[in-house]
Amino acid sequence: MKHVMCFVILALALVSCAPTAPAVTSSELNLYAFSEYVPQALIAGFESKTGVKVSLETYATNEEMLAGLRDKPGHYDLIFPSDYAVEELIAADALQPLDLELIPNYTNVDAAFLNPYFDPGGATSGRRPAMRNEKFSLPYLWGTTGIAYDTTKVVEPITRWEDLWRPELSGHIVVLDDSREMMGIALQTLGYDNNETSASRLGEARDKLLELAPGIVAFDAETPEDYLLSGQAWVGVMYSGNAAIAAFANPDIVYTLPEEGAGIWFDNMAIPADAPHADAAIAFMNYALSAEAGAELIRAFPYSTPNNAALDYLKENDPQFYEAYSSNLASNPPQDALLGAKLVKRVTESAAQLYERYWSEVKAR
């Protein structure tokens, strides 16, 4: 009995010492996020909990986000960059290091997501030698880039990126307005790496996309699923969350991870080095990583989540959605389906400019 009592006392002491999120003194928070990515319910819940007024501006691609940070220095408090963009921002000393003790809900994140190649410090001991042991980002959502198509209109299954060039699909295709994703797809169909930096190979990829361009009905990185749901397109290159939204609305729409290698990406929350309301940004990060807020997030935008607590919450409180979410390839791809998936990686500045230039030429066709 004495040992039991000691255990109880120790447990209570540990609870009393557990970190809690600090009080917020800022009255406003400026978010800069991908379109269709921060649910209004998430913003409303945070405002109600903290009294902080949230403003949201959106972008369609990481390149647009990076340009926005350059154009409006000292304006944004919290951004949502993808993996390679985090790496680029860290290299430029453009992010604030995080004090994880001020974000106790980070422990809800699956440990596998806390030591990524683009930001390996802080949260675990597995960092690479010679890397600074600071943490600059925490995971928000992750997912894949693949092909969604309407099986009532496309008879022959789509299994490869190369299938996008099938003649019968011309005039019925929506693609992402994203230079790195689309140029990467063309590079893969040519047998090259999706992060190629050779000017001649990038030129070949542009030419490959120019062949596809006449059959594209829209370039849309924000709501490409709308074109499938309206019937304006039969096939779409899109992010997994958009594909999941389409499939939930119309079960005839399926999502496939192409054999050449689907895209895979990890989106994160990070605080710009010149953020004027960093305390509010920290509070929002902690709120978004809570079980209930994390569940609200994927109800609205069913991408893959790194938040284990959110999944547990849904399993207990919304089993119908949990089952639909868990059984959907777009939202919850099995590990073997991700074999060969391709990351978009940071490239040289000259190569990045070529990606943008050649993609602009494709869209102007």
Q: Which two tokens stand for residue 95?
A: 């992010």
Cα–Cα distance for residue pair 90/83, rounded to 1 Å: 11
Task: Return the percentage of the chain with pLDDT > 70, whole number.
Answer: 91
Cα–Cα distance for residue pair 147/262, rounded to 1 Å: 9
Question: What residue type is 21 in one-letter code?
Answer: A
* Phi, psi of 221, rounded to the nearest 5 degrees: -100, 5
Structure confidence by residue, pLDDT tens digits, 2-38: 333 333 333 333 333 444 556 799 999 999 999 989 9
Residue 171 reports pLDDT greater than 60 = yes
- Residue 123's pLDDT band (cuts 50, 70, 90): low
Structure confidence by residue, pLDDT tens digits, 212-260: 999 999 999 999 999 999 999 999 999 999 999 999 999 999 999 999 9
Q: What is the DSSP letter of 339?
A: T
pTM of model > 0.75: yes
Question: What residue type is 235 in one-letter code?
Answer: V
Task: Decide if 331 contacts 244 (C-beta within 8 A).
Answer: yes
Q: Which of 112, 169, 146 is nearest to 254 (CA)?
A: 146
User: What mean pLDDT is predicted for residues 144-152?
Assistant: 98
Q: Which of 31, 68, 50, 35 is nearest to 238 (CA)?
A: 35
DSSP string covering 53-98: EEEEEEESSHHHHHHHHHHSTTT-SEE--BHHHHHHHHHTT-BPPP
Residues 6+ apart with CB under 8 A from 185: 161, 164, 194, 237, 263
Structure confidence by residue, pLDDT tens digits, 303-345: 999 999 999 999 999 999 999 999 999 999 998 989 999 999 9
pLDDT at 121: 83
Structure confidence by residue, pLDDT tens digits, 256-303: 999 999 999 999 999 999 999 999 999 999 999 999 999 999 999 999
Residue 176 reports pLDDT greater than 60 = yes
Domains of the chain: 21-141+266-332 (3.40.190.10), 143-264+338-363 (3.40.190.10)
Residue 132 reports pLDDT greater than 70 = no
